[in-house]
Amino acid sequence: MLKPLTAAVVLLLGLAPAAVAAPKPNVLLILADDLGYSDLGCYGGEIATPRLDALAQNGVRFTQFYNTARCWPSRAVLLTGFYAQQVHRDRLPTVAGGANGVRQAWARLLPDFLKAAGYRSYHTGKWHVDGKVLAGGFDRSQSMANPGNFFSSRGTAVDDVAQKAPADEKGYYNTIATADHAVACLKDHAANHAGKPFFQYVAFHAPHFPLHALPDDIARYRDRYLDGWDALRNARFAKQKQLGIGTGTLAAVERDLGPPYRYPEAYAKLGPGEAPLPLPWGDLTPEQRRFQATKMAIHAAMVDRMDREIGRILDQLRAMRAYDNTLVVFASDNGASAEIMVRDGGHDPAAAPGSAASYLCLGPGFSGACNTPFRRHKTWVHEGGISTPFIAHWPAGIAARGALRHTPAHFIDFVPTVLELAGVQKPREWAGVRIPAAPGVSLVPAFAADVTIRRDFLWWLHEGNRAVRVGDFKLVAASGKAWELYDMRTDRAEQHDLAGAMPEKARELAEVWQRQTTAFTELAR
> Do you know the residue count of the chain?
525
- In whole angstroms, what separates CA 454 from the centre of its chain? 23
φ/ψ of residue 407, rounded to 5:
-65, 135
From start to end of 160-235, where are the E strands? 161-162, 198-203
Decide: 63 and 408 in contact? Cβ < 8 Å.
no
Query: Could you tell me which of 383, 367, 387 has the C-alpha nearest to residue 375?
Result: 383
Which distant-in-sequence residues (6+ apart) come within 8 Å of 21 by Cβ?
A: none
- Residue 370, phi then psi, degrees to nearest 5: -65, -30
Cis peptide before 389 (omega within 30 of 0): no
Strands 433-434 and 429-430, by their bridges, are: antiparallel
Contact call for residues 228 and 293 (beta carbons, < 8 A): yes
> Active-site residue numbers?
71, 128
Q: What is the DSSP letter of 338?
A: -
Residue 266: phi, psi to the nearest 5?
Answer: -65, -35
Residue 12, CA distances (Å) to 34, 149, 420, 424 in order = 33, 45, 12, 17
- Phi, psi dihedrals of residue 30, rounded to the nearest 5°: -110, 125
Burial class (CB in 10 A: 0-12, 13-18, 19+), 481: exposed
How far is residue 17's CA from residue 22's CA, in Å, rounded to a whole number?
A: 10
* DSSP at 254: -
How many degrees, rounded to 5, is the angle at CA 477 between CA 473 and CA 483? Answer: 70
- Distance from C-alpha of 465 to C-alpha of 211, rounded to nearest angstrom: 26
C-alpha dist (Å) from residue 497 to 252, 383, 473, 476: 13, 14, 11, 10
Question: Where do the DSSP E strands lie in 230-356?
Answer: 326-332
SS3 category, 296: helix
